[in-house]
Amino acid sequence: MLIVPERDIADLMTREAAFAAVEKVFAAMASGDASNFPVVREALGHEDALYGFKGGFDRAGLTLGLKAGGYWPNNLERRGLINHQSTVFLFDPDTGKVSAMVGGNLLTALRTAAASSVSIRHLARPDAKVLGMVGAGHQATFQLRAALEQRDFEKVIGWNYHPEMLPNIEKVAAEAGVPFEAVELSGMTEADVIITITSAFSPSLMADHVSSGTHLACMGTDTKGKQEVEASLLARATVFADEVAQSISIGEAQHAITGGQITEADVTQIGDVINGTHPGRSSDDEITLFDGTGVGLQDLAVAAAVVDLAVQKGLAIEVDF
């Protein structure tokens, strides 16, 4: 069994490798070669923690496993540890023997950023120049860094519910040499691509904050009840998702489904666009919306990629098990 500890992930994993792994597994999901298992998420009744498992099997990539982890709200204050904790376990699909244990914390941010980047690569207008950010927390910095590589963006505009957090994303834009401007939500009409990455339970971005031709990557809503954008925006947009079942139950589409503004048939797996079985964007005026809910196969794909990199660099720790 190989171990790749959390401390080594930053030096090993690249945004390019994460992008390639996530794009490939989205394609495999759409062609029926890979499927996610039902998600388990439980309140432990201990330390106020939420704990669960996201797993799946990619028959094309021969990746089998699960991510185990969750949220321990007291970690930072009481123990100096980050609140989100996860570990990925990979298994040999031929034998069922465990093959790798990989730190999952940084990988989660990288695979989530890779998902919105895949959507931007395949769905945003090629001439997109202004990138809008709604959200400025931990994930937002990863989202912005990855998105800036997808088009020749000339400007980043940002809004956050807690304006004092905006310097988090301003710093990332500055590092990439792209000017940053804080705007009101109404100013988002200037954006060609908008990423929403907040933990909100009511919509911030309304339909009239979005111009024709915009691509939206809605990445924050991954639980029942969360919501970042007005449901009517989904009726106005062509909607894509990492996985349709998650999109309509725990993703941004849940609200438009409940409200009857769209149906399940209106949501297309992004893998269909990657595979060329759906044309993707059909005009410069169309609004495209990617509902990124986060699937277990993404975690397994980036974990398998980092194990390969660790082996190549001689950094994988081998133990008899």
Of the candidate residues 31, 75, 189, 199, the single one contacting ligand NAD (CB under 6 A):
199
Asked if 134 and 197 count as a contact pair (C-beta separation under 8 A), the reply is yes
Exposed / middle / buried, residue 164 (Cβ in 10 Å: 0-12, 13-18, 19+): exposed
DSSP-derived 3-state class of residue 41: strand
Task: Determine the Cα–Cα distance for residues 145 and 117; give it in Å rounded to an integer.
Answer: 10
Catalytic residue among 24, 54, 67, 226: 67
Residue closer to ligand NAD by CB (options 17, 107) is 107
Residue closer to ligand NAD by CB (options 138, 278) is 138
Instruction: Name the minimum Å distance from CB 162 to ligand NAD.
Output: 4
Name the maximum alpha-carbon separation found in the chain. Answer: 59
Contacts of 5 (CB under 8 A, 6+ apart): 103, 317
Exposed / middle / buried, residue 97 (Cβ in 10 Å: 0-12, 13-18, 19+): exposed
The yes-or-no answer on residue 67 being catalytic is yes
Q: Which of 11, 21, 19, 99 is nearest to 58 (CA)?
A: 21
By the rule CB under 6 A, 86 interacts with ligand NAD:
no
By the rule CB under 6 A, 117 interacts with ligand NAD:
no
By the rule CB under 6 A, 82 interacts with ligand NAD:
no
By the rule CB under 6 A, 36 interacts with ligand NAD:
no
Tokens 């991954």 identify what position? 222
Site for ligand NAD in 134-173 (CB under 6 A): 135-140, 160-162, 165
Site for ligand NAD in 211-240 (CB under 6 A): 219-220, 222, 226
By the rule CB under 6 A, 292 interacts with ligand NAD:
yes
**CB nearest ligand NAD: which residue?**
137
- Residues of this chain that interact with ligand NAD (CB under 6 A) are 108, 112, 135-140, 160-162, 165, 197-200, 204, 219-220, 222, 226, 292-294
Residues recognised as catalytic: 67
